[in-house]
A and B are shown apart, each in its own frame.
Chain A
Amino acid sequence: MTIGPSRVIGVPRRRVDGRAKVTGQTRFADDLTLPRMLHCRLLRSTVPHARIRRLDVSRAQAHPGVHLVLTGADLPIPYGILPVSQDEHPLCVDKVRFVGDPVAAVVARDELTAIEAVDLIDVEYEPLRTIADPLDSLAHPEPRIHEYGDAGNIHKQVSLEFGDVEQALAGADRVFEDVFFYQGNTHLPIEQHASVAAKDPDGKLVIWSSTQTPHYLHRALAKALQLPAAHIRVVATPNGGGFGGKSDPFNHEVVVAKAALMLDRPVKICLTREEVFYCHRGRHPVLMKFRTGVKRDGTLTGMHLQTLLDGGAYGSYGVASTFYTGALQTVTYHVPAYRFEGCRTFTNKPPCGPKRGHGTPQSRFGQEVQLDKIAEALQIDPAEFRLRIVERPDTLTANYLRIGTIGLAECVHRVTAASGWAEKYRRLPRGRGIGLACSSYLSGAGLPIYWNDLPHSGVQLKLDRSGGVTAFCGATEIGQGSDDVLVGCVAEVLGIEPFDVRAVTGDTDLTPVDLGSYSSRVTLMMGNAAIQAAERARDLLAQAVGRKLDVPASRLVFADRRVFDAEQPGRGVTFQEAVCLAEAMSGTVGTTGSYTPPKSAAKFKGGGVGPSPTYSYTAAVVEVEVDPTTGWVVVPRVWIAHDIGRALNPTLVRGQVEGSVYMGLGEALMEEQAFRRLPARLSGALVHKFPSILEYKSPTSLDMPEVFTELIEHPDPAGPFGAKEVGQGPLLPIMPAVANAVYDAVGVRIDEVPITPDKILKALEAARDGKPGRYGPSSFPDIAWPEPLRVPPPWEGGDGRAVNETRRPKPTATGAGREPAVRS
């Protein structure tokens, strides 16, 4: 078959769901109203760590208009996103673990009635010591927040070594040691989480929910409610922003499902903004230490990274997050020997989890700021330095990540040229500065959350005699444009218009499984599955049309809603006729496609986090203006180049890049998930400092700089039409680039995020007093790390296995789901 020039792919287009969004017709979860619908509110803990001594709901139950009050006793089975951390209950059983942990639920005729009734629930708590931060967790193994984990209040400790790092550092001309801190922050989607659950007319459960991962919610509901998954339907409504914050199954989802089943009436919940802050699952606060050895010419000899994560009160994706803080250091630059130790602790705060960049922005910040320091010490231009050490394409890194295409060098060239780097770096007047940083991100996690051998994404196509095509896929539209990718890929292969293709997505009754909108996996995985399904459909049509026209199928062209002979374009049929011919020839036309990522080269325990079919690359230059008297900092301009492989719809790709820059600047300059510790007489209560969208500072239109975006397009063989990810990677270089620019402007190092005026001023004052012009953590604690798993890197003859690992039998289950995905 001949494929004509691209009609759809690569052309800036209106997204397929664009009209719905601008007319207000997109139906988000809270927009749904069903007959006889009731409303749910949760009572949340007002203490950070306590046993529930008494819970009396009788007054709430008696309140007029109340239909049901649920407590932990009604839902005893725990769940959680990772098989290794099944530590959440829909409503707390016996114990609360942070201010905001749900304790009871009221279902009433309207929301105000439910609010009134929640206030009538009496709870008595027996306070336990509050564990406030990781140092607290390390110092106080008791009282334990959870009865599982590696020890005391340590949730997870990991230790990996790829080559002899001490020897590598000994062989360096210089070893740089730096400690950084990255404060936690949250997703802040403008849509608050909402769910509507109901019993469908034949008695099965259906839930519409603002979730990024309907498949994982499906599994969690089956477990928590003890129902066969086949009798549960999860519909992921379009998400009003996700950014990772709607990737866990949430307690409110289980609660409304249970209530709907018990009452046989639809039940809705829409969280308040304060409650969204309690759902959190956002960026982990991370303290980290880098020891990096370099030769005089800039060559890296080895790197030793240690990270300490503040996990909050539950596991969430935390085990994966911990590995991610050390996974991608090797993907950007060649690191011949690498050691990583990570530790996640439980604390009495809302649980942290995956936010855009999942676990990697923190250590990317440290790495890129340290590179800036190294470049200065070695008197090499930071751009030139990075170009010297950039990793090579088609290689296997020290930690066995298989890299495909790398456009990083070109990204660096493009942003330095566009920004006038050579004329500006170290040449701008005091108070103005410019900084560079680079990054890389996965195009989809190579392994699923629960261990199985099944495809990660499936697409079904239905073609009928109307000429219409319906594409079914479990992927979830969270604003990133996944419906558009699905439709675009199908339309391109079949030579029809996107408007001819209907997308049905994110519905476990109707669509084949896609694992969800996380880890930047959808474009690559769903896209490949869609292409496969469309190519199979095209083959069926081509056979039928070829027979009708007496032309070899291989000579047929699909374009302009026609199927025609490449040698005689006038000879052909309409697309609709082609479908009819195929239907007549071989019956109803339906095809499937699926995608499973290639097997990882990493065979060691923990090697499940980091592998990806391919990686995207980004470089950014940020310009800042800093007032040396107050430390006030403004970012007027950002230049960013992203190695996308191929932009399927450039309008959407640019939107993802600019949106990443926006979110990165928020993290760099102002966003902070901060907590307040109260005096001992309030049991040291630990409360979210300001769970509001006013005091959690998200940049406004006036705070957003001009962004100059360049897309680097060298199609990657692993991607659909060559595409790689764009949703997360472009966020990563922004924070370190801001820090490096601040140094260029006023000569002080802010080794901590967010970079605020008071910190800059403190560093400036320190410099004035003859002390190091720096603000940041002074040390990394002594942690008793486990013996590392020693994995010889590929260039030392390694085969991806640890030499000191006691091996378990490889699981063969298909979807049993009892084995941890992050094989840890």
Chain B
Amino acid sequence: MMRLPEFTYHAPRTLAEAAARLAAAPGDTLLLAGGTDLLPNMKRRQQVPKAIVGLRHVAELQQIRGTGALQIGAGVTLTRVVRDPAVRAHYPGLWQAAAQIATPHLRNMGTIGGNLCLDTRCTYYDQGHEWRKAIDFCLKKDGQVCWVAPSSPRCLAVSSTDTAPALLALGAKVRLVSTAGERVIDVADLYRNDGIAYLTRRPDEILTDVLLPDAAGWRSTYWKLRRRGSFDFPVLSVAAAVRLDAGGRVAEARLVLGAVASQPLTAARAAGALQGRPLDDDAIAEAADLAAALAKPMDNTDFTLVWRKRASREFVAYALRELRGDDMRNVRLQVARQSLDHVA
């Protein structure tokens, strides 16, 4: 059986207490929410913290609040996000993203904050200690070389969070709290295109809330590519949100690609190309080409990189066609292996 290494466990009751615990030894202490990311990493000795701060007793992190704009505590489970009527009604892109994460069990455990902070993934890195020894380790942990591209100065591990692209497209922010105070930043600014330092969160900070703006007038969607109907992390995802004017033209658009870099990629030019145009086939094709050009998948996930690159164009088009109002149920059924309606 895989076994955890030993650690000291703390169970603070308040945010202030948690922040103080973290500040005491920020390098050696890690936060534990749902455990679905940290504990496998610890069993594989990718992360070996001296201490763990469990957040499940911190009540401030467990709430969903607000009408119009929505505030979701970082400790809210993905299942609660999926079951929340306001999320489903007003933020379909987030709902679709959360509903497609991992499995029902893992959504019962994993939290939205945990999914935003999900460690970047790579088939050279997400391996047991002995396996990594066989490749003399890698840049991300204990080694010198990024085996994905040995000349790369930085780690190319892949951002594999489903909720981040969706939240980026929805214009969401996150709150970060430490003993030094708090700050609110755009979700986009939470990430860096570096497989190791992929978060701008400081080691002493706790991600406490997701802040969603009022979605009135916005349509949003999320499309995920993975091999199977469940379990798998995205190897490509597309989050899109548009606001149409009275004439059916795009007043505002946001397009985000997930799982093709070490951070979610905002496809600003592609979104810009939609500006002022109806979502007709030409506009969708142009945006899909522009967005797909951004995708630089590497050979460190499931599926071949060339094919993932090819699929990215189609997935952008699926997303925009759904936002236009096309009946995409059959395509969704084929891609996701289910209509998402049964997820709850």
State how many angstroms separate the Cβ of B103 from the closest Cβ of chain A: 8
A664 at the interface (CB under 8 A from B): no
Chain A residues near B136 (CB-CB < 8 A): 682
Could you mark each residue 750-779 of chain A with 1 if its beta carbon is under 8 Å from any beta carbon of chain B, else 0? 000000111001000000000000000000
* A270, B126: Cα distance in complex, Å: 21
The residue in chain A whose Cβ has the minimal distance to the Cβ of B337 is A702
* 8 Å CB contact of B134 from A685, A694, A701: A685
| A272-B128 in contact given A690-B123, A699-B228 (Cβ < 8 Å) | yes
A217 at the interface (CB under 8 A from B): no
The residue in chain B whose Cβ has the minimal distance to the Cβ of A765 is B310
| A702-B230 in contact given A682-B136, A687-B134, A691-B131 (Cβ < 8 Å) | yes
* A411, B134: Cα distance in complex, Å: 49
User: B228 touching A700 by the CB < 8 A rule?
Assistant: yes
User: A758 touching B314 by the CB < 8 A rule?
Assistant: no
| A685-B135 in contact given A625-B334, A702-B338 (Cβ < 8 Å) | yes
Chain B residues near A699 (CB-CB < 8 A): 228
A689 at the interface (CB under 8 A from B): yes
Chain A residues near B303 (CB-CB < 8 A): 756-758
Chain B residues near A567 (CB-CB < 8 A): none
A692 at the interface (CB under 8 A from B): yes
Interface residues of B in 131-155 (CB under 8 A from A): 131, 133-136, 147, 150
* A670, B227: Cα distance in complex, Å: 8
Interface residues of B in 284-313 (CB under 8 A from A): 302-304, 306-307, 310-311
User: A687 touching B131 by the CB < 8 A rule?
Assistant: yes
State how many angstroms separate the Cβ of A426 from the closest Cβ of chain B: 22
User: A697 touching B310 by the CB < 8 A rule?
Assistant: no
Chain A residues near B229 (CB-CB < 8 A): 700-703
* 8 Å CB contact of A46 from B5, B126, B134, B311: B134
* A699, B232: Cα distance in complex, Å: 11
* A703, B302: Cα distance in complex, Å: 17
* A263, B301: Cα distance in complex, Å: 45
A115 at the interface (CB under 8 A from B): yes
User: B307 touching A631 by the CB < 8 A rule?
Assistant: yes
* A689, B230: Cα distance in complex, Å: 21
The residue in chain A whose Cβ has the minimal distance to the Cβ of B43 is A272
The residue in chain B whose Cβ has the minimal distance to the Cβ of A273 is B2
Chain A residues near B105 (CB-CB < 8 A): none
Could you mark each residue 220-248 of chain B with 1 if its beta carbon is under 8 Å from any beta carbon of chain A, else 0? 00000001111110000000000000000
* A812, B180: Cα distance in complex, Å: 86
* A629, B311: Cα distance in complex, Å: 9
User: B230 touching A700 by the CB < 8 A rule?
Assistant: yes
Chain B residues near A676 (CB-CB < 8 A): 123
| A627-B302 in contact given A111-B3, A685-B134, A702-B229 (Cβ < 8 Å) | no
The residue in chain B whose Cβ has the minimal distance to the Cβ of A43 is B130
* A381, B17: Cα distance in complex, Å: 74
B335 at the interface (CB under 8 A from A): yes
User: A632 touching B335 by the CB < 8 A rule?
Assistant: yes
Chain B residues near A202 (CB-CB < 8 A): none
The residue in chain A whose Cβ has the minimal distance to the Cβ of B103 is A700
Chain B residues near A670 (CB-CB < 8 A): 227-228
* A682, B231: Cα distance in complex, Å: 32
* A690, B126: Cα distance in complex, Å: 9
* 8 Å CB contact of A627 from B131, B135, B150, B334: B334
* A757, B308: Cα distance in complex, Å: 10
Chain B residues near A272 (CB-CB < 8 A): 1-2, 128
Interface residues of A in 644-692 (CB under 8 A from B): 670, 676, 678-679, 682, 685, 687-692
Chain A residues near B127 (CB-CB < 8 A): 274, 690-692
Chain B residues near A689 (CB-CB < 8 A): 123
The residue in chain B whose Cβ has the minimal distance to the Cβ of A112 is B3
* A732, B54: Cα distance in complex, Å: 50
User: B128 touching A703 by the CB < 8 A rule?
Assistant: no
Chain A residues near B311 (CB-CB < 8 A): 630, 632, 757
A695 at the interface (CB under 8 A from B): yes
Could you mark each residue 687-721 of chain A with 1 if its beta carbon is under 8 Å from any beta carbon of chain B, else 0? 11111101101011111000000000000000000
State how many angstroms separate the Cβ of B160 from the closest Cβ of chain A: 12
* A627, B3: Cα distance in complex, Å: 43
* A679, B147: Cα distance in complex, Å: 9
**Size bracket of the A interface:** 35 or more
User: A703 touching B228 by the CB < 8 A rule?
Assistant: yes
Could you mark each residue 602-640 of chain A with 1 if its beta carbon is under 8 Å from any beta carbon of chain B, else 0? 000000000000000000000001010111101000000
Chain B residues near A679 (CB-CB < 8 A): 150
User: A630 touching B3 by the CB < 8 A rule?
Assistant: no
Could you mark each residue 108-121 of chain B with 1 if its beta carbon is under 8 Å from any beta carbon of chain A, else 0? 00000000000000
* 8 Å CB contact of A629 from B1, B147, B314: B314
The residue in chain B whose Cβ has the minimal distance to the Cβ of A627 is B334
* A685, B335: Cα distance in complex, Å: 36
User: B134 touching A703 by the CB < 8 A rule?
Assistant: no
Most buried by A among B129, B136, B228, B231: B228
Most buried by A among B127, B129, B303: B127
Interface residues of B in 1-25 (CB under 8 A from A): 1-3, 5-6
State how many angstroms separate the Cβ of B260 from the closest Cβ of chain A: 16
* 8 Å CB contact of A694 from B3, B133, B150, B231: B231
Chain A residues near B126 (CB-CB < 8 A): 692, 695
* A703, B231: Cα distance in complex, Å: 11
A99 at the interface (CB under 8 A from B): yes
User: B130 touching A274 by the CB < 8 A rule?
Assistant: yes
* A112, B131: Cα distance in complex, Å: 18
Most buried by A among B5, B134, B334: B134
* A687, B150: Cα distance in complex, Å: 17
The residue in chain B whose Cβ has the minimal distance to the Cβ of A760 is B307
* A695, B125: Cα distance in complex, Å: 13
* 8 Å CB contact of A44 from B130, B150, B304, B314: B130
Chain A residues near B131 (CB-CB < 8 A): 99, 274, 687-688, 691
State how many angstroms separate the Cβ of A430 from the closest Cβ of chain B: 15
User: A697 touching B307 by the CB < 8 A rule?
Assistant: no
State how many angstroms separate the Cβ of A106 from the closest Cβ of chain B: 13
| A700-B231 in contact given A112-B3, A272-B1 (Cβ < 8 Å) | yes
User: A270 touching B307 by the CB < 8 A rule?
Assistant: no
User: B307 touching A99 by the CB < 8 A rule?
Assistant: no
* A189, B337: Cα distance in complex, Å: 24
User: B128 touching A47 by the CB < 8 A rule?
Assistant: no
User: A634 touching B130 by the CB < 8 A rule?
Assistant: no
User: B228 touching A111 by the CB < 8 A rule?
Assistant: no
User: B2 touching A632 by the CB < 8 A rule?
Assistant: no
State how many angstroms separate the Cβ of B92 from the closest Cβ of chain A: 20
User: A702 touching B228 by the CB < 8 A rule?
Assistant: yes
* A700, B130: Cα distance in complex, Å: 28
Chain A residues near B232 (CB-CB < 8 A): 694, 697
State how many angstroms separate the Cβ of A190 from the closest Cβ of chain B: 14
* A756, B310: Cα distance in complex, Å: 14
Chain B residues near A695 (CB-CB < 8 A): 123, 126, 302
Chain A residues near B231 (CB-CB < 8 A): 694, 700
Interface residues of A in 700-751 (CB under 8 A from B): 700-703
What 4 new A-B contacts, CB under 8 Å, besides A46-B134, A692-B126? A272-B2, A691-B127, A701-B230, A761-B307
* 27 contacting pairs across A/B (C-beta < 8 A): A47-B134, A115-B3, A119-B129, A270-B1, A274-B127, A274-B128, A629-B314, A630-B314, A670-B227, A678-B147, A685-B135, A687-B131, A687-B134, A690-B127, A691-B128, A694-B231, A700-B228, A700-B229, A700-B337, A701-B230, A702-B229, A703-B229, A703-B337, A756-B303, A757-B303, A757-B311, A758-B306
In the complex, the 3 A-B pairs of residues with the closest C-beta atoms, listed nearest first = A702-B229, A758-B307, A46-B134
What is the interface of chain A, defined by CB distance below 8 A to chain B? 30, 44, 46-47, 99, 111-112, 115, 119, 270, 272-274, 625, 627, 629-632, 634, 670, 676, 678-679, 682, 685, 687-692, 694-695, 697, 699-703, 756-758, 761
